[in-house]
């Protein structure tokens, strides 16, 4: 029987690859992101590469509590419990300003985009989660190393998700629901870095891996898929790093 899987941040990068991976398993997919055109395009791409894929795009800004309410009522109208919720939303806050106002903006945006988008999606959908379902949040190697730009808001925000995952696992264990976070290192072919990384910075990130290569969105997608599978069901309250060994580095 096909499962209902909700992926936020599904119009690009890791989220789009994740949605495609579940679609290949004949799961029923609900895809969320802010920009409608790009989201619809992502859904169409998945439908054309996965024959028979059941993919619905729903444009919402997940940093807004009203959107979380809309998401909940939309999912309620589908009439199926949520088997998997993967919160791939996230972004790097601008760090090029000066003074305390820009420090505040960096930390507020980091928290809003990387923490609150996940928290309100999860809390909004919890009553509709299937017993035995799975929640996956997306942290970063920056939570371990500290962000390499600005005053560190991004890495600090990602580490807040670790604490939230442990709390969720504890709360939801009695319902058989797992909660984990995936912490990727550098993953190529995403929009996270806006206009892209400079060749020097990209080379540096790749050299920090022991495998001497960047990760691909599909690598991270496969891990999310596993965590939502029956085999992955005993994994909970974990932060799983996927970074080509670059946490320890060369």
Ligand X SMILES: NC(=O)c1ccc[n+]([C@@H]2O[C@H](COP(=O)([O-])OP(=O)(O)OC[C@H]3O[C@@H](n4cnc5c(N)ncnc54)[C@H](OP(=O)(O)O)[C@@H]3O)[C@@H](O)[C@H]2O)c1
Q: Which residues bind ligand X (CB under 6 A)?
A: 8-15, 32-35, 38, 61-63, 88-91, 113-114, 117, 138, 140, 184, 186-187, 190-192
| Residue 206 C-beta: closest distance to ligand X, Å | 11
| Residue 60 C-beta: closest distance to ligand X, Å | 6
For ligand X, which is the closer residue by CB, 185 or 234?
185
Specify whether the CB–CB gap between 40 and 15 falls below 8 A: no
- The DSSP-derived string for 139-190 is --THHHH--SSTTSHHHHHHHHHHHHHHHHHHHHGGGT-EEEEEEE--BSS-
For ligand X, which is the closer residue by CB, 10 or 177?
10
| Residue 99 C-beta: closest distance to ligand X, Å | 25
Matching residue, tokens 């970063």: 140
- Alpha-carbon distance 23 to 2, whole Å? 10
For ligand X, which is the closer residue by CB, 163 or 230?
163
| Residue 18 C-beta: closest distance to ligand X, Å | 9
Matching residue, tokens 């029987």: 1
> What is the H or E stretch that residue 2 is in?
none
For ligand X, which is the closer residue by CB, 200 or 230?
200
């Amino acid at each position: 029987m096909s499962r209902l899987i909700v992926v936020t941040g599904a119009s690009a990068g890791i989220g789009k690859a994740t949605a495609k991976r579940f679609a290949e398993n004949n799961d029923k997919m609900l895809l969320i992101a802010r920009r409608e055109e790009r989201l619809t395009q992502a859904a169409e791409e998945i439908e054309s590469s996965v024959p028979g894929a059941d993919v619905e795009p729903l444009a919402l800004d997940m940093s807004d509590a009203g959107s979380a309410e809309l998401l909940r009522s939309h999912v309620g109208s589908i009439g199926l419990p949520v088997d998997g919720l993967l919160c791939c939303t996230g972004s790097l806050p601008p760090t090029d300003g000066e003074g305390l106002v820009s420090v505040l903006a960096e930390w507020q945006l980091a928290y809003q985009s990387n923490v609150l988008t996940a928290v309100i999606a999860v809390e909004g959908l919890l009553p509709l989660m299937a017993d035995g379902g799975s929640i996956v949040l997306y942290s970063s190697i920056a939570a371990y190393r500290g962000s390499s730009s600005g005053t560190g808001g991004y890495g600090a925000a990602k580490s807040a998700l670790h604490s939230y995952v442990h709390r969720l696992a504890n709360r939801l264990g009695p319902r058989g629901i797992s909660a984990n976070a995936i912490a990727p290192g550098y993953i190529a072919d995403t929009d996270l870095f806006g206009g892209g990384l400079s060749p020097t910075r990209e080379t540096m990130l790749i050299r920090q891996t022991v495998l001497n290569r960047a990760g691909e969105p599909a690598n991270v997608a496969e891990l999310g898929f596993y965590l939502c599978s029956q085999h992955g069901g005993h994994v909970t309250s974990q932060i799983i790093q996927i970074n080509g060994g670059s946490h320890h580095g060369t």
